[in-house]
Amino acid sequence: MADTSAVLEDGRVRTGRDPGRRNTAVLVAFTAVTNLADGVVKMALPLLAARAGGSPGQVTGVALAISLPWLLVALHAGVLVDRVDRRRLLWVVNVLRLAAMVPLLAAAASGRLSLGLLAAAGAAVGVADVVASTAASALVPAAVPPAGRDRANAWMAGAETVFSEFAGPFVGGLLIALGAGYALGATWAAYAAAALVLLLLVGRFRAGTGAYGVGGTDRGGAPASPATTVNGQIAEGLRYLWRHRLLRSLSLILTVLSGTWGAWLALIPLYATRDMGLTPGEYGALLSALGTGGLLGAVTVTRLGRLLGRRRVMLADLFGTAAMAAVPALTADARAVAAAAFLGGLGGTLWTVNSRTVIQRAVPDAMLGRFSSANRMFAWGAMPLGAGLVGLLAELAGPRAAFGFFAVASVLTVPFFLRAAARDADALR
Fill in the amino acid letter for 39: G
- Residue 148 sits in the same domain as residue 284: no
Residue 285 near residue 337 (C-beta atoms within 8 A):
no
Of 262, 297, 253, nearest to 410 by C-alpha is 253
Are 282 and 386 in the same domain?
Answer: yes
Whether residue 62 sits in one domain with residue 109: yes
pLDDT for res 69? 85
Whether the predicted pLDDT of 39 surpasses 60: yes
- Exposed e or buried b for every residue in 122-157, given b needs 16+ CB within 10 A? bbbbbbbbbbbbbbbbbbbbbbbeeebbbbbbbbbb
User: What average pLDDT does the segment 266-292 reach?
Assistant: 80
Does 207 map to a domain?
A: no
Q: How confident is the model at residue 120 (pLDDT cuts 50, 70, 90)?
A: very high
pLDDT surpassing 70 at residue 214: no
pLDDT, position 17: 58
Contacts of 385 (CB under 8 A, 6+ apart): 259, 262
Last residue of one domain, picked from the residues 154, 179, 200: 200
Q: Do 125 and 249 fall within a single domain?
A: no
The Cβ of residue 218 has, within 10 Å, a number of other Cβ atoms equal to 16
Domain count, the chain: 2
Task: Identify whether residues 187 and 283 lie together within a single domain.
Answer: no
Is the domain of 244 the same as that of 195?
no
pLDDT of residue 252: 92
CB of 212 closer than 8 Å to CB of 366: yes
Task: Classify residue 4: in a domain, yes or no.
Answer: no
383 lies in some domain: yes
Cβ count within 10 A of residue 294: 26
Look over the chain and give the mean of its residue pLDDT values, rounded to a whole number.
82
Question: Which of 169-183, 234-248, 274-288 has the largest mean confidence?
Answer: 234-248
Q: Decide if 215 is inside a domain.
A: no
Considering the domain architecture, whether residues 293 and 374 belong to the same structural domain is answered as: yes
Task: Give the pLDDT confidence of 215-261 residue by residue, as tens digits.
Answer: 333 344 444 445 568 778 888 888 888 888 888 899 999 999 999 98
Shared domain for 194 and 250, answered yes or no, is no
Same domain assignment for residues 246 and 391: yes
Q: Looking at the domain assignment, is residue 216 inside a domain?
A: no
Q: Is the pLDDT of residue 4 over 50?
A: no
Query: In this predicted structure, what is the pLDDT of residue 8?
Result: 41
**pLDDT of 15 strictly over 50:** no
Residues 168 and 64 in one domain: yes
Looking at residue 377, what is its pLDDT?
A: 82
Q: Are residues 97 and 164 in the same domain?
A: yes
pLDDT > 60? residue 33: yes
Say how far apart CA 204 and CA 211 lie, in whole Å: 12
Task: Tell me, yes or no, if the pTM score tops 0.75.
Answer: no
Residue 311 lies in a domain: yes
Distance CA 35, CA 30 (A): 8
Q: What's the rounded mean pLDDT across residues 25-35?
A: 93
Higher pLDDT, residue 60 or 424: 424
Is 7 inside a domain boundary?
no
Domain contains 407:
yes
Q: Would you say residue 383 has pLDDT above 50?
A: yes
Q: Report the CATH number that the domain containing residue 121 is assigned in CATH.
A: 1.20.1250.20
Range of the domain at 155: 15-200
pLDDT score, position 218: 38
- Are both 291 and 155 inside the same structural domain? no
**Bridge partners, 85 (sequence order):** 206
- Whether the predicted pLDDT of 370 surpasses 70: yes
